[in-house]
Amino acid sequence: MSIVHSRKQSSLLEHPAIYTDFYELTMAQGYFLAGRKDERACFDYFFRDLPFDGGYVVFAGLSDLIAVLDDFRFHEDELDYLSEQGFREEFLRYLRDFRLNIDVMAPREGEVVFPYSPILRVEGSIIETQLLETLILNILNFESLIATKASRMKYAAGERKVIDFGLRRAQGYGGIQASKAAIIGGADATSNTYSSFVHGTPASGTMAHSWIQSFEDELTSFRKYAEFYPDSCILLVDTYSTLESGVPNAITVAKEMEEKGHRLKGIRLDSGDLAYFARKARKQLDDAGLEYVKIAASNQLDERLIKSLISQHAPIDLFGVGTRLVTGYETPALDGVYKLAAINDEPKLKISENVEKTTLPGRKKVVRYRENNGRFHGDGIFLADNDDSTIIRHPFYPAKYTDITSFEAESLLHPVMKNGDLQVDLPSPSKSARYARERLEKLNPEHKRFENPHIYKVGLSEKLLHLRNRLTEKMK
Amino acid sequence: MSIVHSRKQSSLLEHPAIYTDFYELTMAQGYFLAGRKDERACFDYFFRDLPFDGGYVVFAGLSDLIAVLDDFRFHEDELDYLSEQGFREEFLRYLRDFRLNIDVMAPREGEVVFPYSPILRVEGSIIETQLLETLILNILNFESLIATKASRMKYAAGERKVIDFGLRRAQGYGGIQASKAAIIGGADATSNTYSSFVHGTPASGTMAHSWIQSFEDELTSFRKYAEFYPDSCILLVDTYSTLESGVPNAITVAKEMEEKGHRLKGIRLDSGDLAYFARKARKQLDDAGLEYVKIAASNQLDERLIKSLISQHAPIDLFGVGTRLVTGYETPALDGVYKLAAINDEPKLKISENVEKTTLPGRKKVVRYRENNGRFHGDGIFLADNDDSTIIRHPFYPAKYTDITSFEAESLLHPVMKNGDLQVDLPSPSKSARYARERLEKLNPEHKRFENPHIYKVGLSEKLLHLRNRLTEKMK
């Protein structure tokens, strides 16, 4: 297991410009034919529901998104396809020379974010901002979902290691992003070699049951593995009988390794009652003087099972997590949306029967307030320009408010693209992971617990609230 | 919406050889260093649990898998990476010249398959069969999951259309495979332009709320869209008020279209009580003499909601399905596994405390039996060679058996690769979709219902059962 530099920051997507819902293209042609191609639009990316019944989201996917945006253009074969789909020659000529000229504001990758708050703000022509909707949603929704799940597993595991083993049950090629997002969220390493190669994240893994079965007996299979991997050997002990065969054979091999000046790194449990087997195995190892041999456990683990195992004092040093990490499992999608906030600097809102689905109009910014101890107190959503509100109010119960004048404040959204030019270096997964860790430390524990986490305060500036109310009235 | 030929059957994966769990590589090097590289192994791909509490799985992913296998080799940059990870020079030299020489047997893509039955049989050197494990599981598990989900939605929808709108909430780039698998399983079209381009599947989509919001009023936005898309115009009617504004404006535009010799194709409902709004909208349209205008509905739909809407006689002609299709939602992963069945022609099995997890030893084949009416009666798993059993027995309750001599029989597994050479043309999604439809028609309805579907019979030949019992005894 070692870290290498990322080989390829560009995207897997060979055809990013058509990685989109078909209607983005029909609408784009519509704007073009309506003579509106140079009109300006501002869209917000945000989500409404927290995944996993949790209290926060770890923002991820920014680096993959930027890599795609940096390379966004229509190629001839794509234009031929669009022509076959009935798009008009004049529009295809426009697309042939199309280059992004957008402004993008976003938090740093790894930021802790909350419902309703704009995460990405995208400004540009009505065509370019519309065309990017699906791409932005697809990448940010998924990577943020998995980074969040990983952060919960790491939170449960504490100082113990969490390793991503999920590729075999990941949702197809999304597995490459899942393993990267898992690292951003807090996983220590991944079994996903592709992701390790492309993203420079640490790779990990030793043996499957088939290795053991392919030898005449378990002891021989262990001996062979220890011979080839004297310094990174983790033996899988549950192929035949964990306590009667697997652990005793591992002890035999560990003793033989000691004679050659090596140390068995660990054993892995992959079935049965992990708390029971870990305790029994630990005792067998300790009785043999092998206190240094670690115990790894895997098998349908998630943050709640990890927490349960730790609360039972199961002596497990490393958790291998798979399906329940890389698919999000109980919440397999973040519900992020991309909504129009302004056209030609005129604020727009979409009303809904459900007041919580009414959007926030206008170009906006997000400010985070800190308590004296540095912890996050809450976030305020402001109009981007000339908003000097000193009070933020609850979005739906405006009688609840906070005076923010006494708090230390920081802006959450930073320039990522300006006129289509990148304003930042692409963050590496390890850098984003470090940032996520720092930020999660500043989030109070009541927002991180798994059962009924406390709701983090996100308020609207008085000025934004007035604008929303005024536009809502006008539409009625 | 039109169908074009697929432009690119090769895989998205630029680095298929390292699209694998790290331990496949450490084991491969282990076999190499142990001097076992030319030993032969046979692995089975199968699953144990049916997704969605359903009665069957639609097998998909074969064409993507074959495309990857056909292009499988280690490139210099990958070997450099592996060298940095500590792999030895002699093994890397071996990998540099590594080419697949495997035999693969599989059902046709779109086949209806069941638990415990081998789906893929992979034979080759112990190294090549081991290296492919993760790749096979990742692609087949996911695409089969989504094809199965799509087939359930189409089953609920009957003659009505089902369109995949899921890309924005798909699990990252897995969305490309999801949209293809959805077509194989029965979706009529997709909003996913990338997938349509790469796979030649029909694309579909018209407008989002932002189109309407960007104009000064709804009527103007509808008129403009109808002007540009006179023959494929589906108007989204819920931006302001479905029944007081959206449908009346759609009717106005439809009448104007009639004057110019065109017809409004449809309206789309995307919020609220879809049964209620569909009925009210249908009446408004019909009262205006617009019986030909279709009603499309979307918003968190799945097969149960589609069934419910139809049982309420909601006059919906087209269902747009998203997140709950492309992620599998309540079952976000198929639990397929890849297990060793033989080494050097010697059958192997893995026993487990849980009898249902004990594997089936040896090279095997699968036979499907048909009733007189052509419907599927059940499947039998046999040893591939010299197995003339005339009785198949329940895998865990052998007193339950079927005499199969009177049934019409067909082999399910066909050669896909022989000595690493492709034996079949890559099936197009439309071809696999046609096959899935044919095969699902032969599956009795009691296996297709959503509540407590009847368990499809899968038996073991007497000879296979004896082998399993003999090896189990021997291991104890």
Residues 6+ apart with CB under 8 A from B48: B115, B116, B335, B337, B356, B357
- Which residues in chain A have their CB less than 8 angstroms from residue B194's CB? 13, 15, 18-20
pLDDT of residue A10: 47
- Which residues in chain A have their CB less than 8 angstroms from residue B34's CB? 224, 228
How does residue B4 score in pLDDT terms, banded at 50, 70 and 90? very low
In a domain, B10, yes or no: no
Asked whether the predicted pLDDT for residue A8 surpasses 60, the reply is: no
Q: Determine the average pLDDT of the residues in B314-318.
A: 98
Same domain, B292 and B370: no
pLDDT of residue A1: 34
Interface test with A, best of B8, B23, B78 (most A CBs within 10 A): B23
Same domain, B311 and B345: no
Same domain, B166 and B290: yes
Look at B339 and A210 and tell me if their CB atoms are within 8 Å: yes
- Which residues in chain A have their CB less than 8 angstroms from residue B41's CB? 210, 214
**Three-state SS for A290?**
coil
Tell me the residue range of the domain where A321 lies. Answer: 153-326
pLDDT of residue A351: 84
The residue of chain A nearest to residue B345, with distances taken between CA atoms, is A214
pLDDT digit string, tens, across residues A46-72: 999 999 999 999 999 999 999 999 889
pLDDT digit string, tens, across residues B242-297: 999 999 999 999 999 999 999 999 999 999 999 999 999 999 999 999 999 999 99
CATH number at residue A200: 3.20.20.70
Asked whether the predicted pLDDT for residue B61 surpasses 60, the reply is: yes
Asked whether the predicted pLDDT for residue B9 surpasses 60, the reply is: no
Domain boundary (B326, B349, B366) is at: B326
Separation in Å, CA of A402 to nearest CA in chain B: 32
Separation in Å, CA of B8 to nearest CA in chain A: 11
CATH number at residue B97: 3.20.140.10
Interface test with B, best of A20, A171, A245 (most B CBs within 10 A): A171
Which residue of A12, A168, A198 is in closest CB contact with B12?
A12
Separation in Å, CA of B374 to nearest CA in chain A: 35
- Of B88, B25, B344, B335, the C-alpha closest to A208 is B25
Look at A193 and B272 and tell me if their CB atoms are within 8 Å: no
Same domain, A221 and A296: yes
Look at B165 and A228 and tell me if their CB atoms are within 8 Å: no
- Of A435, A440, A433, the C-alpha closest to A376 is A440
Residues 6+ apart with CB under 8 A from A187: A150, A153, A154, A162, A163, A164, A321, A325
In a domain, B117, yes or no: yes
Domain boundary (A284, A302, A326) is at: A326
Separation in Å, CA of A431 to nearest CA in chain B: 21
In a domain, B6, yes or no: no
In a domain, A4, yes or no: no
Interface test with B, best of A8, A11, A13, A22 (most B CBs within 10 A): A22
Same domain, B398 and B465: yes
Interface test with B, best of A173, A238, A321 (most B CBs within 10 A): A173
Residue B81 to residues A197, A198, A317, B12, Cα–Cα distance (Å): 7, 10, 28, 20
In a domain, A2, yes or no: no
Cα B230 to chain centroid distance, Å, stands at: 35
Asked whether the predicted pLDDT for residue A115 surpasses 60, the reply is: yes
In a domain, B39, yes or no: yes
Same domain, A200 and A277: yes
Which residue of B177, B193, B339 is in closest CB contact with A172?
B177
Q: Across the strands, what pairs with B403?
A: B391
Give the integer Cα–Cα distance in Å for B420 and B416. Answer: 9
Q: Helices A76-84 and A89-96, interaxial angle, to 10°?
A: 160
pLDDT of residue A300: 95
Look at A228 and B29 and tell me if their CB atoms are within 8 Å: yes
Separation in Å, CA of A340 to nearest CA in chain B: 6
Give the integer Cα–Cα distance in Å for B226 and B236. Answer: 12
Which residue of A86, A133, A205 is in closest CB contact with B21?
A205
Size of interface A-B (CB pairs under 8 A): 306
Q: Determine the average pLDDT of the residues in B180-190.
A: 98
Look at A167 and B134 and tell me if their CB atoms are within 8 Å: yes
Which residue of A21, A134, A191 is in closest CB contact with B22?
A191
A415's enclosing H/E stretch is strand A414-418
- Which residues in chain B have their CB less than 8 angstroms from residue A177's CB? 171-173
Give the integer Cα–Cα distance in Å for B167 and B173. Answer: 9
- Of B251, B244, B248, B245, the C-alpha closest to B226 is B251
**Which amino acid is it at A374?**
G
Q: Determine the average pLDDT of the residues in A295-304.
A: 97
Same domain, B315 and B170: yes
Alpha helices in A204-362 (DSSP H): 209-213, 218-228, 247-259, 274-287, 303-311, 323-326
How much of chain B exceeds pLDDT 70, in percent? 97
pLDDT digit string, tens, across residues A421-467: 999 998 999 999 999 999 999 999 999 999 999 999 999 999 999 99
How does residue A6 score in pLDDT terms, banded at 50, 70 and 90? very low
Look at A171 and B339 and tell me if their CB atoms are within 8 Å: no
Domain boundary (B326, B357, B391) is at: B326
In a domain, B238, yes or no: yes
How does residue A321 score in pLDDT terms, banded at 50, 70 and 90? very high
Same domain, A222 and A185: yes
Asked whether the predicted pLDDT for residue B105 surpasses 60, the reply is: yes
- Which residues in chain B have their CB less than 8 angstroms from residue A174's CB? 170-175
Same domain, A342 and A377: yes
- B219 contacts B252 by C-beta, under 8 angstroms: yes
Same domain, A163 and A299: yes
- Which residues in chain B have their CB less than 8 angstroms from residue A212's CB? none
pLDDT digit string, tens, across residues B360-394: 999 999 999 999 999 999 999 999 999 999 999 99
Interface test with B, best of A127, A164, A214 (most B CBs within 10 A): A214
pLDDT digit string, tens, across residues A359-414: 999 999 999 999 999 999 999 999 999 999 999 999 999 999 999 999 999 999 99
Asked whether the predicted pLDDT for residue B2 surpasses 70, the reply is: no
Give the integer Cα–Cα distance in Å for A126 and A340. Answer: 10
For B13-59, list the strands marked E by DSSP. 40-46, 57-58
Which residue of B22, B139, B272 is in closest CB contact with A353?
B272
Look at B333 and A327 and tell me if their CB atoms are within 8 Å: yes
In a domain, A7, yes or no: no
Separation in Å, CA of A408 to nearest CA in chain B: 36
Look at B18 and A170 and tell me if their CB atoms are within 8 Å: no
Same domain, A220 and A206: yes
Interface test with B, best of A168, A265, A321 (most B CBs within 10 A): A168
A19's enclosing H/E stretch is none
pLDDT digit string, tens, across residues A166-217: 999 999 999 999 999 999 999 999 999 999 999 999 999 989 999 999 999 9
- A54 contacts A156 by C-beta, under 8 angstroms: no
Same domain, B468 and B358: yes
Q: Determine the average pLDDT of the residues in B137-143.
A: 98
- Which residues in chain A have their CB less than 8 angstroms from residue B193's CB? 18-22, 25
As a whole number, the mean pLDDT across chain A is 95
As a whole number, the mean pLDDT across chain B is 95
Look at A23 and B207 and tell me if their CB atoms are within 8 Å: yes
pLDDT digit string, tens, across residues A216-225: 999 999 999 9
Q: Determine the average pLDDT of the residues in B176-185.
A: 98
Can you tell me the ipTM of this complex? 0.96
Separation in Å, CA of B390 to nearest CA in chain A: 31
- Which residues in chain B have their CB less than 8 angstroms from residue A214's CB? 31, 36, 39, 41, 126, 340, 343, 348
In chain B, how many domains are there?
2
- B148 contacts B58 by C-beta, under 8 angstroms: yes
